Amino acid sequence: MSRLNTPAVNDVPAGARQILDKVGAQLGFVPNMFKTIASNPSALEAVTTLQATMSRVLDAKTRHSIALAVSQANDCSYCLAIHTYTSSTFGGMSSEDIDLARAGSSVDPKRAAAARFAQQVVDSNGQVSDADLAAVRGAGYTDSEILAIVTVAVQALLTNFINNVNQTDIDIPALDSSATPG
């Protein structure tokens, strides 16, 4: 059961309601995470603005792969469920590629390097090695794209932390924990 207050729709300030309406229009439903964050309209605006901004960097499958890799590294069941849903429904990713992304890999070698690097960022608290940087550069990423990978990873960390603190009730199909890769 969620541990933080999730306000009733009528108790959400108008500006936050507009954001929730937009999220609902994009996804077809308003996930519990966003309903909970709506109790703090500034936090809701920060999360959704960051997500909208980062949707313009890297390709969608790479962003999804990073989010899945980071969410797996942080053991965030809610984020794994929502990222699996969005990766398959909107990102066109196969079940195989979703499972590989959770393990920090991909069917695409360049995308695998991004997912692996994002996991290294998380696992090392940002203290990646020269070898980690060389590997992601060797896969073809520029320094500008490496900054994008880090920012997408931090975006995933933000929602991982919110959902892990809250223990957000999963309102989308839960993953089979026995299928966890790695």
- pLDDT score at 39: 93
Mean pLDDT of 55-79: 97
- In this prediction, residue 173 has a pLDDT band, given cuts at 50, 70 and 90, of low
Q: Is residue 35 part of a domain?
A: yes
Q: How much is the pLDDT for 13?
A: 85
The C-alpha atoms of residue 149 and residue 134 are separated, in whole angstroms, by 14
Q: Do both 90 and 136 map to the same domain?
A: yes
User: Distance between CA 107 and CA 149 in Å, rounded?
Assistant: 18
- Distance CA(126)–CA(172), nearest Å, equals 31
**pTM of the prediction?**
0.91
Does residue 29 share a domain with residue 96?
no
pLDDT band at 158 (very low <50, low <70, confident <90, very high): very high
Together in a domain, 27 and 104: no
Is 106 among the domain residues?
yes
- Measured CA to CA, the distance from residue 162 to residue 6 in angstroms comes to 13
The CATH number that applies at residue 26 is 1.20.5
CA distance 148 to 40: 27
**Same domain for 90 and 28?**
no
Whether 124 and 75 map to the same domain: the answer is yes
- Which pLDDT score is estimated for 182? 41
Structural domains in the chain (count)? 2
Give 122-140 pLDDT, tens digit per residue: 999 999 999 999 999 999 9
Separation in Å, CA 41 to CA 11, 12, 18, 32, 49: 12, 8, 11, 15, 12
Q: What percent of the chain has pLDDT over 90?
A: 85
| Mean pLDDT, range 6-23, rounded to an integer | 90
> Do 153 and 78 share a structural domain?
yes
Same domain, 66 and 21: no
108 and 24 housed in the same domain: no
Q: How large is the average pLDDT for residues 63-79? A: 97
Per the structure block, which two tokens stand in for 54? 């980062």
Say whether both 151 and 118 belong to one domain: yes
Q: Is residue 66 part of a domain?
A: yes
Whether 84 maps to a domain, the answer reads: yes
Cα dihedral: 52, 56, 59, 63 (round 10):
-40
- Domain hosting 80: range is 60-169
Assess whether 99 and 154 both reside in one domain.
yes
Q: Which helix (H) or strand (E) holds 99?
A: helix 95-102
Each residue's pLDDT tens digit, 38-63 = 999 999 999 999 999 999 999 999 99
Tell me how far apart the alpha carbons of residues 150 and 72 are, in angstroms, rounded to a whole number.
Answer: 16
User: If you average pLDDT over residues 7-28, what whole number do you get?
Assistant: 90
**Mean per-residue pLDDT over the chain, rounded:** 92
Q: Identify whether 181 is part of a domain.
A: no
Mean pLDDT of 155-164: 97
pLDDT digits (tens, 9 = 90+) for 85-109: 999 999 999 999 999 999 999 999 9
Location of structure tokens 């999804």 = 64
Domain assignment present for residue 175? The answer is no
Q: Find where tokens 């290294």 sit.
A: 120
Residue-wise DSSP of 38-67 = TTSHHHHHHHHHHHHHHTTSS-HHHHHHHH
13, two tokens: 């300030």
- Which CATH number does the domain housing residue 118 bear? 1.20.1290.10
Pair 84, 114 in one domain: yes
Residue 112 in any domain: the answer is: yes
The answer for residues whose C-beta is within 8 angstroms of residue 178's C-beta and 6 or more apart is none
Q: In this structure, is residue 145 part of a structural domain?
A: yes
